[in-house]
Amino acid sequence: MAFSGWLVAALAVGTVPVVLLGGWPGLAVWLALVVLAVVVDLVLAGSPRALRFAREVPPRMRLGESAPARLTVTNTGRRTVRGVLRDAWQPSAGAAPTRQSLRLPAREQRVITTTLTPTRRGERRAAHVTVRSFGPLRIAARQATTRVEGAVRVLPPFHARKHLPSRLARLRELDGRTSVMVRGQGTEFDSLREYVRGDDVRSLDWRATARRRDPAGGGVKLVVRTWRPERDRRVVLVVDAGRTSAARIADEPRIDTAFEASLLLGALATHAGDRVDLLIWDRRVRGRVQGATGADLLARMVDTMAVVEPELIEPDWSAVPGLVRQVTTHRALVVLLTSIDAPGAARGLLAALPQLTRTHAVVVASVTDPAVLEAAGERGDREQVYRAAAAERAVLDAERVASAIRQSGADVVRAAPAELPPALADHYLALKAAGRL
Amino acid sequence: MSTREAAVADAAQETTTPTVRRVLRRGILWVVMLVVVLLVAVLLTSMVRGSVQAGVPLAADNPAPGGAMALAEVLRDQGVDVFEAGSLDGVREAVDRADGPTTVLLWDIDLVLETEQHDDLLLLTDDLVVIEPTAFELQDLAPGIAQAGSTGGSFDADCDLPAVQAAETVTATGAAYRIVRDDVDATGCLGDGDRYALVRLERPSATVTVLGLGEALSNGVIETDGDAALALHLLGAHRTLVWYIPTFADLGPGGPTLAELTPPWVTPLAVMLLLTALGAMLWRGRRIGPVVVEDLPVVVRAGETMEGRARMYERSGDRLHALDTLRVGTLGRLARACGLPRTASVTEISDAVAALTGRDRGQVAGILIDAKPTTDAELMRLSDDLLRLEAEARERGRP
């Protein structure tokens, strides 16, 4: 049962008959009228319990986009239901409008559309539908809440997508280059072609040149060997979902930056013909994508990432080499997306690194806090000088951890949240160009 | 996303809002408990109120030390009919019922009676005992007698009144009175100079006894010396005693009440407005469905460690440590600017910077290594010097 503002208005108007009819009789008459109106309304209101609901929700959507969620309402009762309907979504689903007017005659159906604009990734749920059905006088209403569940998976936004075309172009440039810079352990012979000015003379294939001597005379056609970057390498992305990943840097949790970076690297690597596997890890596997390629890879990655939130526990690095071994026993590029700050906190990571670097190429990617770097340079007053000292201390600590990581044979990529995904992609391209995969 | 997935329409949907019947069934226990609590409260209140009402001092039914139940009971044992009256009508009724003369004890603690009522009272009885009367009562009941402050202590019998003679010594505190006119037939007893604690006045209609020592009748004091004898003699002179403590029932009809002055619709209007407010509460108070809960992720501000450490430095006032931290950072950057390897020692860096910037070696070494700040001002100056040196080195070091 619920009432509208009209009940208050009716009671307030009742002061007139009270004064005019002189006290208690006026009050009694008016109250009787109001009670009668309430009873009539309640009796004649369409039953909200007779409504049947069906949801039609997009199964997934990207954060930052809007999508309609449809709710089909069927009136199985004998009276028209008119009133207000609330489709109750979780607050961060960004449902609008939250209240919708409803007028549904008996044995009819309506579709109520709510626009969802989620503010957070993950599984956003709808719990129930509440209908407040007013009587013909619109004074009193019957109200019922019905459990109608629904969910939409909100995927990470992948803003770093904008860096992909330029990196793909760079990847294509690697193809067919003859420069020794391209050559390395892992580069593969691709084809022979005619020499053009600018090619490295060291890649001339004299034997092929001799064979290609033009029978019709003319000059000597020099032939060079071309190389293409190695293919079918493995890239294993390990994202740390432990306590340090919950920290918010420049209004983005570290884990979200790590997701962006791994999505960009995954997209790039799968285009380059490498096989990408993803592990999200703290003390247990929180998410895993294995054996997917092409467009399927990205879809599965975002789907896995969507529901993972960091937990306030210390990640167990000692198990990571074993996990990587489960994925592949061959040489792979292992990218650890974690945070590098204090030597004490990095002890577990540093202990596990040598095991990884023995067989794999390892890159440790971490977000740096631009606010810390800024604070180190600001020394306007006494308080700021102490802050600068603390910031400098943090930078030095991170530097120590980074050099320790480098000493154990891994590479370190550090950048501000917006720059980390392209920086990691560039590092991957550099490794590929150098044939170090 | 273009693909859409229709959720299955559930035929047996679960409505979570309870029906009226279920609400009633669940609420019945609470209603019963509320009723029980109310009943207990009403019962307790009435019991407490009963005992509180008996607390009037010198009332014949008050067993407290300030009451006079003991005296009334003893008088009853002696065969005196003791009537307790709360109004003049009660007195009249008691006097009518009694055969023979009556004693009336008047104890007007709330100063209720008016002059006419005093006059009526004088006509009703032959023997009136007035306890601690005020000037107004004296003027009506015992003209010629005036208040004379308070008195107290032990009084020896000093007049030939039978009650006083029987008592021999009376010990109590109370009011004192003085006989101010010579033309009245008054006897002063239990005196202290010309102030008396007991005055008997013979008037044409009745004998009026003014007793200033009301305390002598109370349960707590009556056993002292001859107080009991005095009280029993004064009040037990006749077969009937009317114990009259005037209450508000004696108040005459006053002016018009508030209800008579206001129009008849004022109270109903207030009720109506109250109901309107109640309606507004019901209107705004009912929310449309329960709140949907959601787990929010933990939010940790990244800079907190740094801020905490900064406050720690500041509170401990460890200037040298703070400055050294800044120096180590600056030295690392300067080494890079000068093209020195990572392994270069601090003195090497300091000398290289001095050579690069053209500054004095000692001065540069002072900024980078030696100087110890003792005040915050010095710390700030040194930190500014570090910044300046770094900027300079970077400027000169640029090819």
Name the least confident of A149-163, A248-262, A309-323, B260-274: B260-274
Spatial distance between the Cα atoms of A410 and A368, rounded to a whole number of angstroms:
18
For residue A397, being part of any structural domain is answered with yes
How high is the ipTM of this complex? Answer: 0.71
Residue A276: beta bridge partners?
A235
Contact criterion met (CB below 8 Å) for B239 and B81: yes
For residue A180, being part of any structural domain is answered with no
Nearest CA to CA, how far is A82 from chain B (Å)? 15
For residue A172, being part of any structural domain is answered with no
**Do you find a cis peptide bond into A97, omega within 30 degrees of 0?**
yes
Contact criterion met (CB below 8 Å) for A247 and B301: yes
* Tokens standing for residue A128: 């129930």
Task: Point out the residue among B271, B294, B387 whose CB comes nearest to the CB of A90.
Answer: B294
Q: What is the dihedral of CA A261, A263, A264, A268, to 10 degrees?
A: 140
A136 and A202 both lie in a single domain:
no
Residue B255: the pLDDT is: 65
- Total number of domains constituting chain A: 4
- According to DSSP, residue A204 is labeled B
Taking CB atoms and an 8 Å limit, are A150 and B7 in contact across chains?
yes
Alpha carbon separation from B374 to B10, B319, B323, B377, B381 (Å, rounded): 77, 7, 11, 8, 11
Spatial distance between the Cα atoms of A386 and A379, rounded to a whole number of angstroms:
8
A127: domain CATH number? Answer: 2.60.40.10
A330 and A388 both lie in a single domain:
yes
Structural domain of A33: 2-44
Taking CB atoms and an 8 Å limit, are B288 and A99 in contact across chains?
yes
Q: Which positions ≥6 away from B391 have C-beta within 8 Å? A: none
A208 and A276 both lie in a single domain:
no
- Answer yes or no: is pLDDT of A80 > 50: yes
A348: domain CATH number? Answer: 3.40.50.410
Residue B113: the pLDDT is: 86
Spatial distance between the Cα atoms of B82 and B73, rounded to a whole number of angstroms:
9
Residue B10: the pLDDT is: 44
The pLDDT tens digits for B333-364 are: 888 888 888 788 888 999 998 988 888 888 88
Question: Could you give the strand order of the β-sheet that contains A275-281, starting from the edge strand earlier in sequence?
Answer: A285-289, A275-281, A234-240, A332-337, A361-367, A411-415
The pLDDT tens digits for A224-245 are: 887 766 778 899 999 999 988 9
Residue of B nearest to A139 (CA): B283
Q: State pTM to two decimals.
A: 0.68
- Answer yes or no: is pLDDT of B6 > 70: no
Taking CB atoms and an 8 Å limit, are B5 and A57 in contact across chains?
yes
Of the candidates B184, B187, B181, B197, the one whose C-alpha atom is nearest the C-alpha of residue B148 is B197
Tell how far CA A323 is from the center of its chain: 23
Q: In chain B, what residues touch A372 (CB-CB under 8 Å)?
A: 303, 306
Q: In chain B, what residues touch A148 (CB-CB under 8 Å)?
A: 10, 13
Residue A413: the pLDDT is: 95
A258 and A301 both lie in a single domain:
yes
B41: three-class secondary structure by DSSP: helix
In this prediction, residues A112-134 reach a mean pLDDT of 93
Cβ contacts below 8 Å, chain A against chain B, sum to 230
A322 and A277 both lie in a single domain:
yes
Residue A229: the pLDDT is: 66
Nearest CA to CA, how far is A199 from chain B (Å)? 32
* Tokens standing for residue B191: 């005196």
Residue B112: the pLDDT is: 84
Element (H, E) at A395: helix A382-407
Residue of A nearest to B4 (CA): A58
The pLDDT tens digits for B141-174 are: 888 899 988 888 888 888 888 888 888 888 888 8
* Structural domains of chain B, ranges and CATH numbers in brackets: 69-250 (3.40.50), 309-397 (no CATH)
Taking CB atoms and an 8 Å limit, are A396 and B329 in contact across chains?
yes
For residue A179, being part of any structural domain is answered with no
A35 and A108 both lie in a single domain:
no
- Answer yes or no: is pLDDT of B222 > 50: yes
The pLDDT tens digits for B69-119 are: 888 999 899 888 888 888 888 888 888 888 888 899 999 888 888 888 888
The pLDDT tens digits for B258-296 are: 777 888 888 889 999 999 999 999 999 989 989 999 888
A217 and A289 both lie in a single domain:
no
A88 and A207 both lie in a single domain:
no
Most confident of A229-238, A324-333, B298-307, B334-343: A324-333
Mean pLDDT of chain A: 89
Contact criterion met (CB below 8 Å) for A262 and A237: yes
Task: Point out the residue among A92, A143, A249 whose CB comes nearest to the CB of B302.
Answer: A249
Residue A40: the pLDDT is: 95
The pLDDT tens digits for A16-29 are: 988 888 788 889 99
